[in-house]
Structure 1
Amino acid sequence: MPSIQNNPNLLVQYLQKPASHFTKEDLIRYIEEREIEMLNFRYVAEDGKLKTINFMVTTREELDMVLSSGERVDGSSIFSFLEVNTSDLYIVPRYKTAFLNPFSKIPSVDVLCSFYNAQGEPLESSPENILKKAQKQFFKETNMKLKMMGELEFYIFGDSEIEVEGAADGYHCAEPFTMYEELRTEAIKLIAQCGGMVRFGHAENGRFTYDGKHYEQHEIEFAPVDPEDASDQLVVAKWILRMLGLKYKVNVTFIPKISLSQPGSGMHVHFLAEQADKNMLVENGEITPTSLKMIAGVLDLAPALSAFANTTPVSYLRSMPGQKAPYRICWGKQNRSTLIRVPLGWNSATAFGADLNQQEQTNVDYTFRQTIEYRGSDGSANPYLFSAALIIGFMKGLSDTEAIKKTDDYFCSENLFLKEDQQPEGDHQFSRLPNSCHEAAEVLENYRHYFEADQIFPKSIINHTILKLRSFNDKELSENFKTYGENQDLKELIKEYLHYM
């Protein structure tokens, strides 16, 4: 973590303490001393997008009151599963999430909120509380703490009179061979200022010109942090990117598939487990039994995870055969064609920089950097709910005496993307994920007892998720995908979901 002095979060710099230590009194002091005129409560609604209530800062007493007790809102307008006759909720600020709004012309502090019910208890069915419950149960069962982080892929596109020269493959492309590097780097800076632990950003593979518009795919990757913080920074990052789209007069979209001839956009999630600050996924250069058990548990539940990871019909365009996105239920080491990948890690004590530059070498343990990656999720996922569902998979694997044996059956060392072109659908060793929202709903119905265990996911949320997935009526759609090509039906489908998530 950056030092307090160099931390890009402006509140951390001013208050001289980590965001996790922010108090109500800290926020009041910052607002008064920096002459902040407005306080904005932010919360994530059912659609996964940030909503806002604006408070004009008038008196210290009023500010103290709203930071202490929150505000009353209409829950039925936030979550469709809440009844109108009992819909009142409180939204209560989480002080650690406060940041200086980088876009507001009026000096404003924004803070993310959680939901409380009429009895003054955390709302059982709110996404951030479901994730809290999952984390709490995981620690209770394992005495380990989790860290997670996301890789957020997205397309930027706008009108273009300039031909961008260079290779069609845009991976890590740099100016002058990319048009939107400035937007991406500004996004990285602003996300960090708003508390996001950004590691890096880069151009991704997708780039093309179509119908007078230039499309480029980019990615921003975060550092592993507490799962709730990881989810917070993803929703804030998506808001910042959309706001920058307005500034630059371009479109930013997290749609999983924008063209069948171009790479889709995922939202890969990495995880690790720690005990006494030690990464439990790796030891002596090898992944541990803990790693294998967690992998097996997630793969066991993978068909049902689609209900949280891939929540729109267009999600399943990305995971069609031939689209170079993993959909076979298997895992591999450094294998990008598998659903779960164990990335290349820093298991060697060699300091590469010292070796390359012929300088004195010091032994440093970088195993804390080793993560495991789930590659099947996309930008339609609510990160709180999907993270909670992953944690349930971890717990399933860690409690399964057959889990390590299962990983042998799930292991894949082949390039499945290449193999897909060579084998008929029924000849594959590994089963596949659902191919539509309808199928994901059916699987979730069969697996729901795993998610409802320990009252982590309320029955009402599972019911609502199933009904929502079925409402897309895409049972036959997956078969039509194969004949779409780039015809008008596909264009209309993509247009419908371009800014859905």
Structure 2
Amino acid sequence: MVTLMDKVEKITKLCQEKQVRMIDFKMTDIDGRWRHITIPVERFGVDTFTYGIGFDGSNYGYAPIEKSDMVFLPDPDTAYVDPFAEVPTLTMCGNVCTIGKGENRPFDQYPKNVSLRAVEYMKESGIADRMVIGPEFEFYLFDSARFEVTSRQCGYRINTRQADWNHSLDTPGNNGYEVPHKGGYHVAAPQDVGYDLRSRMCMMMEDWGIRVKYHHHEVGGPGQMEIEVELADMPAMADNTMIIKYIIKNLAAREGKTATFLPKPIYQEAGSGMHVHMLLLKDGQPLFYDEKGYSGLSRTAHYFIGGLLKHIASLCAFTNPSTNSFKRLVPGYEAPVTIGYATSNRSAVIRIPAYAKSPETKRFELRNPDATANPYYAYAAILMAGLDGIEKQIDPAEHGWGPYDFNLYTLSEEEQKKIKGLPKSLGEALDALEADHDYLTKGGVFPQRLIDVWVARKREEVRKLEQIPNPAEFRMYYDL
């Protein structure tokens, strides 16, 4: 059995081999951003894992000031030499505890704890013992991004030399190799100017222990990229999601570019999602496969789908938690807008890949999430919704949610009215979360306090955005 002392000695040896001078601890705030604190390697020891690193949790969005003292406990299994630090630095993720009179207690609002508790609840239910997921990471890679929001002026300007708007006589662009509007899917070099950079991103992910499936240029002409990773256990994949975004953004910055996971950074271009593939296992056996079931899926898989579709509106408050998220979820851009499921149909919110045929790979993907989500909360909420569907045996077909084996975008207006759609705004998603969150609080997975704080924070974001004049309003209404 490997003891904590063994792990400390292993890390100490690694620091000596790599000549590490600093140790960095990365924590996740409520919105899903990494924050960090760094100590000299000489201050590192067993006490670091026993007593942790103290910090003020109120600045992370979790706790009121009077209860803000917390400690971060690093996870030695996540130790890795940070490739972006000039001073040799070992970095670690971990967990957060509240400070008690006796022992410190895991902080129930901390994202990592929520994801771990969701897995514990799954095991306690007896339904499954592993949730395995694989997100697809879509993002835009720009040469520059500038934006300003003041009382005097408001606007943004992005540019990339491969964009179609640089295809003019007076603009120094990509020497005739610009990518057409919505024409970027799988384009090759020289149009694909981000090709080598994506490869370096993927190699860095592999070095960090994240298995990459493939990468390619996506539909968005002005630099939309995708990197897809192999499936892994849910809590570990939440950690990996943070690492992947860190690598993509920092490597882009190192090479003089900028990467964004904003769901809809460009008007009338393809939006960026984070489709999540998923399956459940118990005692090493896949639970989603049945050769005789629709598209090879078992009843358990159908019930899981039923739970997702039943709670999809409230799920959006965690899987699509920005006002920009809903600018992506509109018809005509391969983004889901309807509540339903189907095989190989990208217009449904749940798609069953036809190529995944074996029992070990049989799965489906949820297509509405995007990477503005806090991955720990989003993945945990997805699991809890699916488990609720299994526990209550919610059959999606009986509820009229499909299967929709046809293009939902081409239905007549009368037929479209019969099909329920996703929320059209963050406000609608928050309304749904307030009305439908019992499935999240079961087993103490999502504390009620967390949901209350989340809704309040997001309502404030909506209120603030609604008060800021939009540049497009000047064009539409200035002369009235």
Tell me the TM-score range normalised by the shorter chain: 0.7 to 0.9
User: Which segment drifts farther, 276-285 or 188-197?
Assistant: 276-285
Alignment pair present for 1:175 and 2:189: yes
Shift of 1:64: 3.1
* Contact 1:22 1:95 (C-alpha < 8 Å) held by counterparts: no
Q: Distance in 1 between matches of 2:361 and 2:461?
A: 40
User: Which segment drifts farther, 330-339 or 24-33?
Assistant: 24-33
Q: Distance in 2 between matches of 1:489 and 1:216?
A: 28
Alignment pair present for 1:155 and 2:136: no
**Which among 189, 192, 208 is matched to residue 194 of structure 1?**
208
Q: Distance in 1 between matches of 2:63 and 2:287?
A: 40
In the other structure, the counterpart of 1:453 is: 442
**Alignment-mate amino acid for residue 305 of structure 1:** L
Specify whether residues 489 and 107 from structure 1 end up closer, same or farther in structure 2 by C-alpha distance, changes over 3 A only: farther
Q: Distance in 2 between matches of 1:73 and 1:152?
A: 31
**Runs of 5+ unmatched residues, structure 2:** 144-159, 162-171, 476-480
Where in structure 2 are the equivalents of 1:12-411 lying within 5 Å?
A: 23-58=7-42, 62-79=44-61, 81-119=62-100, 120-141=104-125, 142-158=127-143, 160=161, 161-163=172-174, 165=177, 168=180, 169-207=183-221, 215-284=222-291, 286-347=296-357, 366-403=358-395, 405-406=397-398, 409-411=401-403
Shift of 1:63: 2.9
TM, length-normalised to structure 1: 0.82
- Residue by residue over 1:425-477, the C-alpha shift from the partner in whole angstroms, topping out at 9 and shown as x without a partner, is x8433211111111111111110222112211111111112112221336996
Shift of 1:245: 2.1
**Alignment-mate amino acid for residue 190 of structure 1:** M
Shift of 1:57: 1.2
SS of equivalent residue, structure 1 residue 23 = helix
User: Which segment drifts farther, 263-272 or 313-322?
Assistant: 313-322
In the other structure, the counterpart of 2:427 is: 438
* Contact 1:345 1:369 (C-alpha < 8 Å) held by counterparts: no
Specify whether residues 248 and 282 from structure 1 end up closer, same or farther in structure 2 by C-alpha distance, changes over 3 A only: same
In the other structure, the counterpart of 1:414 is: 406
**Alignment-mate amino acid for residue 394 of structure 1:** G
Q: Distance in 1 between matches of 2:396 and 2:408?
A: 22
SS of equivalent residue, structure 1 residue 155 = strand
Q: Distance in 2 between matches of 1:279 and 1:401?
A: 18
Q: Distance in 2 between matches of 1:58 and 1:339?
A: 51
Q: Distance in 2 between matches of 1:472 and 1:117?
A: 27
**Which among 393, 413, 431 is matched to residue 423 of structure 1?**
413
* Contact 1:49 1:239 (C-alpha < 8 Å) held by counterparts: no
SS of equivalent residue, structure 1 residue 403 = coil
SS of equivalent residue, structure 1 residue 32 = helix
* Contact 2:109 2:447 (C-alpha < 8 Å) held by counterparts: yes
* Contact 1:99 1:193 (C-alpha < 8 Å) held by counterparts: no
- Residue by residue over 1:343-402, the C-alpha shift from the partner in whole angstroms, topping out at 9 and shown as x without a partner, is 12342xxxxxxxxxxxxxxxxxx4322221000011111110011111111111111234
Q: Distance in 2 between matches of 1:444 and 1:395?
A: 17
Q: Distance in 1 between matches of 2:421 and 2:474?
A: 26
SS of equivalent residue, structure 1 residue 263 = coil
When the two chains are superposed, the root-mean-square deviation of aligned CA atoms in Å is 2.6
Q: Distance in 1 between matches of 2:204 and 2:329?
A: 32
**Which among 432, 437, 457 is matched to residue 468 of structure 1?**
457
Specify whether residues 474 and 440 from structure 1 end up closer, same or farther in structure 2 by C-alpha distance, changes over 3 A only: farther
* Contact 2:297 2:362 (C-alpha < 8 Å) held by counterparts: no
* Contact 2:396 2:402 (C-alpha < 8 Å) held by counterparts: no
SS of equivalent residue, structure 1 residue 454 = helix
**Alignment-mate amino acid for residue 343 of structure 2:** K
Specify whether residues 488 and 178 from structure 1 end up closer, same or farther in structure 2 by C-alpha distance, changes over 3 A only: farther
SS of equivalent residue, structure 1 residue 295 = helix
Count of residues in Structure 1 that have an aligned counterpart in Structure 2: 436
Q: Distance in 2 between matches of 1:206 and 1:243?
A: 22
SS of equivalent residue, structure 2 residue 231 = coil
- Residue by residue over 1:224-258, the C-alpha shift from the partner in whole angstroms, topping out at 9 and shown as x without a partner, is 11111111111111111111121121121101102
User: Which segment drifts farther, 21-30 or 322-331?
Assistant: 21-30
- Residue by residue over 1:35-59, the C-alpha shift from the partner in whole angstroms, topping out at 9 and shown as x without a partner, is 2111111111123121111111126
Specify whether residues 30 and 320 from structure 1 end up closer, same or farther in structure 2 by C-alpha distance, changes over 3 A only: same
**Runs of 5+ unmatched residues, structure 1:** 1-17, 208-214, 348-365, 491-501
Q: Distance in 1 between matches of 2:375 and 2:366?
A: 13
Moved over 4 A (4+): 474-477
**Alignment-mate amino acid for residue 177 of structure 2:** E
**Alignment-mate amino acid for residue 294 of structure 1:** F
Specify whether residues 216 and 414 from structure 1 end up closer, same or farther in structure 2 by C-alpha distance, changes over 3 A only: same
SS of equivalent residue, structure 1 residue 439 = helix
* Contact 2:397 2:403 (C-alpha < 8 Å) held by counterparts: no
**Alignment-mate amino acid for residue 413 of structure 2:** Q
Shift of 1:404: 5.8
- Tell me the percent identity: 25
**Alignment-mate amino acid for residue 375 of structure 1:** R
* Contact 1:345 1:367 (C-alpha < 8 Å) held by counterparts: no
* Contact 1:439 1:475 (C-alpha < 8 Å) held by counterparts: no
**Alignment-mate amino acid for residue 446 of structure 1:** A
